[in-house]
Structure 1
Amino acid sequence: MNVSHKSLRALIVVRLSRLTDESTSPERQREACEQLCESRGWNVVGVAEDLDVSAGTTSPFQRPTLSQWIGDNGTDPGRAGEFDVLVFYRVDRLVRRVRHLGQMLAWSERYHVNMVSATESHFDLSTPIGRVIAQLVASFAEMELEAISDRIASAYQHNRQLGKWTGGAQLPWGYLPRETEDGWRLFPDAEAVPVIHEVAERVLAGEPLRAVSHDLNERNIPTAKDRMNAHQGRALKGYQWTSGGLKRSMTSPTMLGYATKREPLRDAHGNIVRDSRERKQYGPEEILRGRDGSPVQRAEPILTREVFDRVGVELADRENRKEPTKRTSALLLRVIYCDVCGRPAYQLKGGQGRSARYRCASAQYKSTCGNGTVVKSTLDELVESTVLDLLGSSERMSRVWEAGEDHAAELADLDVTLTDLAGQIGLGVYRAGTPQRVVLDARITELSHRRDELAAITTQPAGWAWKPTGETFADWWEQQSVQEKNIYLRSMGVAVRFDKRDELKVHLELGELYRMAGEVKAAGSIAAATDLFDSLAENGIAGVEISNGKAVFTSKAGDRVEFPLRSVKV
């Protein structure tokens, strides 16, 4: 590339990342570049300054300011016609990856733009040897970056093992950093902790996470990101709560004060997986462990182990259930389905003089299944009356957590810890023969002895139990909202299928009948039904289906026998 040093137009490139010390501050970089341009008689036409941008993960074409001058893809000339030379303090201010330098060399050759270092006289692209030297310089810059990254990673891991807050990652909800004599530590956030306790109580009471997150947003409760912004005096961004984000926060081990980590993902060859912007991709959150395999306790717990486990179990139980939104007004949403095409049915609000109805979802398509609509109240009343006929007179039971007697809670914690530690055997640094394995084995032995001591005196383990409430199921049902009734029907697997192509035909499936019976002190119809089904099972009958005033009994061999039912009318 033959370019004269006289009367050239120069674009100065300035970059600063968190890895850079004050010796290459933006002011120092710019001053050195301006001195070079002045000594060679070049006219400075602009400065592309990108601060807090890492050259290790960001190519020149991805930087906010520089990309406005050179384009964003390596084949776009950008504003190349407005300058003849790129001037930078040192090559590592432009690139830190050899492949990024290759992209810049190709771009400069294509659009006849020279690149000059203000402090490295050997960096001259006008000669073949200069281009080779430039490649070598970039290689050393990349090696230096890797060395810096390794040193930072080593210090980072050391401080995390000591339970210190090292920054960088997302701040866990419920905690704020504070500098102490021993470095930065996390402490419970007095504003967020009561909210977390409230959310835990609402989850255990059965409230949908969508409703809880909606309420938090309406009350302007800040997320962890905005709490950090407020703590640092920055403007709030207005991040919104979602049911998914709330679930991740409430089930994160950080609620127990544990330090966590996320390991980089690796491909089949062991190389770290990166996205299109060269950013590392990480796996799921894991508990960070000390040398003995125990979790690193980084801060005071916000939730007790008992509550944390209960919340986790409760939310796990909801995985197979689509919870309705706060606006749900249909009792049979995701309970009622078309018996012609199998699609779910939705509420069709009635107009003037017309009742609300259920209709198949295919009605919104050009080609429908031909099923008609059915008056909403007809099927709502059928389902409610059937459920109440079965359960109404039974005493409702409440699921409560019993902490246990004596040392049951500690024993439960030990069981969790021992299971946890045993799972580390043979993994990573805990392979046989390593110092960490010796410490792990000693820790397991110590905890096992303690467990044996407690097991000898424990009389009642902690766990869930069903307790009478003194309230009939019918009374409880009457107090529930449409949304809460809908949740119950879904969780019990109740399903309704209808066919209105001619006369109305309805199939009602009660789903988890034994689970229904297990949540009440069974009396009346539900007790008789479960006794009947037990007897049927003993006699080879696999199931019973109620359909249009008749009961169809199916044997394990597939035989079907029908009986009329006078009490069920549609």
Structure 2
Amino acid sequence: MATKTKAAKAVDRQAYDVDTEWTKADRRLLAELEAAEALLPDDAPRALLSVRLSVFTDDTTSHVRQELDLRLLAREKGYRVAGVASDLNVSATKVPPWKRKSLGKWLNDRAPEFDHLLFWKLDRFIRNLSDLHVMVQWCERYGKGLVSKSDPIDLSTTVGRIMVTLIGGIAEIEAGNTSTRVASLWEYTKTQSAWLVGKPAYGYRITEGEGGRSVLLVDGNAHKALHWARRMALRGVSARRMALCLVRSGLMSEGLTTTTLLRRLRNPALLGYRTEEHKAGGVRRSRFILGSDGKPIRVAPPVFTQEEFEALQTVLDRRSRKQPTRQPGGATHFLGVIVCADCGGNMRVNKTSNKGRTYSYMRCTGCKAGGHGIPAPDAVYLALARRVLSSLGSYPVQVRQYAEGAEARQEVKRLQEAVSYYMTGLEPGGKFTRTRFAQEQAERTLDTLLSELEAIDPATTQDRWENIHNGQTWQERWDTGGIEAIEEDLRRVGIRCEVTRQKIKGQRAPDVALRVLIPKDVQERLIIREDAFVVEL
């Protein structure tokens, strides 16, 4: 059967271009809206506009149209636009609002800068009921309003909150139906001998056969590389050596690791059958998918015969080392904090078993052959913890909290109205000038009001973030939380520890030196910013 390489087809839905140009009409309307906004009073409510697109089609409302519609809505309600959070090529089903690049920055760090969050339609904003619940709670906690251009949403009323939940449920059902259709398509393709969708296993390429149907053919270069690797494995050549030779020859791409090479050699899909991932006992392997006749479904010509594949697996099994069971949090502490001074690569802890004993050693991920291994990782952890405690342990633990200025603004307004009342009454012919006693009383009251007004810090009238000392020092916090707490905070703050290893003649263990790098603004970075978006299950 004659075949030809299948040309890449344009998909109906494609990633939206962030740099899409605005039309002249759009620019004119934007200028008009900005001019009208400039006429608003200084204390006008501030609005943040949320614009989102996952993919762009002819039926999709563009980000330009969404922004202009939201600006029109803001003008209608008398809101001043504080900013536009534009997140394009982002799925509302997969990424909640607080984790989006643009909107997440506003919600997590710039909440004091706006009063209302405007979006074009609820399914443009959110498509998960639990995410919607979290956003509603966040808005109520921080005194923010949620306003939709296309939906009757108003969090200030009970009916409005019910409508939010109802519309959100419909959006989630729609998203769930789409997910179900995609999952059903994948389940269907697994039972077919034709290759309908998906990326084939290494060793094959997709071609177009008769009738325009996709079929798999063996890739020539991959076939050559895999059979060469099989012959080398039978001769006892290490996987690391094979990977190096394959990259140098150009048969496999740069960045090939021994793990990737071994995974390719162990893939039963090389026999030409359809497979799926299977996890058993912490080991990830592929297994055959059986058809209605109970036999594996053939989708391509084999790269290896059954005898070649089994002989290769026997050799690989014989040479593989049984690794200790992985710890839930991983064997390496301070990952991303402890780095190699020579190459900057992360230092990782490897564990291996030999004759019933387990050995741990710290190695560099970037240096050739891992550099000089450190056989006592716990000593490195202890030395790092001691240095950090001596430098930062006495600092107070501060927690960032949100402070609203509404109460202070009301007090300022009350005082200003009272001052105006007494000043008017003290003018010639005013109500407080009729008797000397009334005038003196009014003047004393006015002085008191003015003193109270001057005593109010203008900053307290604004919504803001405040850093509050929680009564602990970092020494006390880390003594309670242990190494896991120190590890989490050092990684968050950006503290690094460079490890230098010097080989000592006649000794297996190298001489180790540590250099702890602490940012100059470490006190600011240490401030704990609590996560306001916690999904309660």
TM-score (norm 2): 0.47
Q: Which has the higher helix share?
A: 2
